[in-house]
Amino acid sequence: MSEKIKIGLFGFGVVGQGLYDVILGQDLNLELIKIAIKNPEKKRSLNPSLFTTNHQEIFDHPEINTIVELIDDADVAFEIAKKALSSGKHVVSANKKMIANHLAELVALQLEHGTSLLYEGSVCGSIPIIRNLEEYYDNELLHGISGIFNGSSNYILSKIFNEQLNYHVALKQAQDLGFAESNPILDVGGYDPKFKLTIVAAHAYGLFLDPEQILNVGIQHISEHDIRYAKEKGFKIKLVPTAKKVGSAELITYVLPKFVKSDDFLFNVENEYNGVTVQAAFADKQFFFGKGAGGHPTGSAVLSDITALRYGYRYEYKKYHRQKGLSHSNEVDIEVYIRYAEESTLESLEVRNVVERFSRNDYKYVIGMVRLESLLKNKSLLEQGDVFIAHTGDYSFSEAALSISAEEEAVILN
């Protein structure tokens, strides 16, 4: 017999409304008792008695056994989750920033108080990647996980490459559709996928990372030159978070625009859809695909967590508890394309092993090796409007077909 879930909901925006819609009309042995909102004046279609602006009213309600947190403010969300877990209530959240920044403390609270925090909706919308990492891959050695984790930036890039829209027009469309915020930097700057990658790394590798340890560079400075270069090579550019084992003892993580080839699973992931590639030692390469933005896809993931609580489900963090010797590192070289304006940019980034270079008054780029640590140290430089960087991916530009001779380079530079 499943336990009846009685919910106190914090937030009734896009995802909160989406959750309510997917619950409606289903017999799931759960009841929505109270909803905390910020603006009591806003017109709503539900019974006004459901709503409150007093958070304490939900915590003190004797029937509520589960808190569902769906607000934007990560700091307030953390206080809500901490208070709920400490008072014996289960928590379901979709706040990836809050979870990424406080995961170690939240896991400790669950263990101390015998409560459960579930957050499938925080990573890749409708794709059940956290549950799969917890259950299907719990004893699997994972070589790497990468993908498209942010529907907003992917929508923008899809419009740029498929419909030849410029960046600002595509961004405005994403904002009008509710995929991107009025201040979109969390999405287009790569922060949102960085928080998601932090959570994924905890379940895939057993490491609770500080998001500040992870490089994130976004797409906000992409130019027509970068787009033309990618198209000439037969690539698309996607914003791709990556976690990858190097040897047996090190994990590297980063979020970068990436040149994606036509035979890559991610090449045809378009618009607000997300895609996750898992490279496993024994199961080999597997691919997950689904909607990553919007109220209903995220609401369905939240509902999946709520219904799992009826049967006492909790994350076990098996890889964290048996983790032996794996550490996070940024001391590794990766091959990148860099469009730049000043030669000092290349000096600051310590670019070496250059295999391709082009220079004219309005467009300069190099392809070469850069240390992740150097990119992280110079992150403010990478956020300037005259710099764009993209990972060259798994296709080496150092091959003869893509490199140019010293004589050819001299011609280009002159």
Inter-residue contact 269 to 146 (CB < 8 Å): no
- Give all strands of the β-sheet with 51-52 in edge-to-edge order: 51-52, 30-36, 5-10, 66-69, 90-93, 117-118
DSSP state of 30: E
- In DSSP terms, 146 is beta-bridged to 242, 277
Locate 185 and state its tokens: 């930097």
CB count within 10 Å of CB 373 equals 15
Is 196 designated active site?
yes
Q: Tokens for 284, please give them.
A: 């080999």
**Measured between alpha carbons, how far is 203 from 98 in angstroms, rounded to an integer?**
16
3-state DSSP call for residue 124? coil
Q: Which residue has the tokens 């004893």?
A: 139
| CA end-to-end span of the chain | 78
406, 157, 401, 139: which is closest to 266 by C-alpha?
157
d(CA 106, CA 97): 13
Q: 70, 19 in Cβ contact below 8 A? A: yes
For residue 19, report the phi and psi dihedrals to the nearest 5 degrees.
Answer: -60, -45
DSSP for residue 160: H
Q: Are 211 and 328 in contact (CB under 8 A)?
A: no
Strands 284-291 and 250-260: what pairing? unpaired
Q: Of these residues, 34, 96, 159, 196, which one is catalytic?
A: 196
In three-state secondary structure terms, 67 is: strand
How far apart CA 120 and CA 126 sit, in angstroms, is 8
* Cβ–Cβ under 8 Å, residues 223 and 339: yes
Phi-psi map region of 412: left, alpha, beta (phi>0 left; psi -120 to 50 alpha): alpha
CA-CA-CA-CA dihedral for 266, 268, 271, 277, to nearest 10: -20
**Residues identified as active-site:** 196
